[in-house]
Amino acid sequence: GESVGLHLPTLSVQEGDNSIINCAYSNSASDYFIWYKQESGKGPQFIIDIRSNMDKRQGQRVTVLLNKTVKHLSLQIAATQPGDSAVYFCAEKLGGGADGLTFGKGTHLIIQP
Amino acid sequence: DSGVTQTPKHLITATGQRVTLRCSPRSGDLSVYWYQQSLDQGLQFLIHYYNGEERAKGNILERFSAQQFPDLHSELNLSSLELGDSALYFCASSPRLQPNNSPLHFGNGTRLTVT
């Protein structure tokens, strides 16, 4: 089974509101986490990353929070815009090894006008 | 634009056939990863090459193979194709052997349809 998963397959928010997308991971050995955005017909696009020695990291309109105690990752998008509509994936990297990233199944973010 | 180039964008072929997908990584990136994305399985890691050498295998079928050439571009070969092989195939690159500090950058994929 997958060690990374998302709680909700679809999230609908009003334009201008903040969005929060959640992700659970089960492998405590994971030391690097990334959020990707995938628009229709395109490949996953890097949004923001965080290492396991951090709890929070901010980017432009996005914030990633990492709670290692409960193995939970979240992506917060401020002032959601129509262009934020996409599928969002969290991904984890296990410490060591060359296997690349393990992805969750994704959450579809829908922006209501 | 991620800087990762994949060709072709679309590929339609029949069962039993063989196809080759091509990937050019970002300039300077030594690692190339291949992923398969289907509706029911999400993004599945297939194989990883670093500077011409295979470094890790994931859920890759024996009918599938890959290689990375001296110029660092990579090819994914899919043979004896089955209907279930229809999917999006993504290539991603990274500068290092292990992406512990830098994310993978993905191309826009090749959509394979097996009829």
Q: Which of A36, A40, A46 to mutate to test the interface with B (most CBs of B within 10 A)?
A: A46
Which residues are CB-neighbours of A108 under 8 A, at least 6 positions away?
Answer: A9, A10, A11, A86, A87
pLDDT in tens, A23-69: 998 788 898 999 999 999 899 999 999 999 999 999 999 999 999 99
Mutate to test the interface with A, among B104, B105, B111 (most CBs of A within 10 A): B104
Model confidence at A81: pLDDT above 80: yes
Percent of chain B with pLDDT over 90: 84
Nearest-angstrom CA–CA distance, A63 and A80: 13
How confident is the model at residue B34, as a pLDDT? 97
Q: If you average pLDDT over every residue of chain B, what do you get?
A: 94
Distance in angstroms between the alpha carbons of the first and the last residue of chain B: 31
What confidence tens digit (pLDDT) does each residue in B56-108 have? Answer: 999 899 999 999 999 999 999 999 999 999 999 999 999 877 766 788 999 99
- Compute the distance between CA of residue B4 and CA of residue A110 in angstroms, rounded to an integer: 27
Give start and end residues of each alpha helix (H) in chain A.
none
The structure tokens listed for B36 are 């398969």
Assign A2 a pLDDT band (cuts: 50, 70, 90).
very low
What's the pLDDT score for residue A95? 66
φ, ψ of residue A40 in degrees (nearest 5):
-55, 130
DSSP per position, B66-83 = EEE-TTS-EEEEE-S--G
Q: CB–CB of B13/B81 below 8 Å?
A: yes
Percent of chain A whose pLDDT exceeds 70:
91
The yes-or-no verdict on residue A100 having pLDDT over 60 is: yes
Q: Is B70 left (phi over 0), alpha (psi -120 to 50) or beta?
A: alpha
Is the CB of A103 less than 8 angstroms away from the CB of B43?
yes
Mean pLDDT for chain A? 89
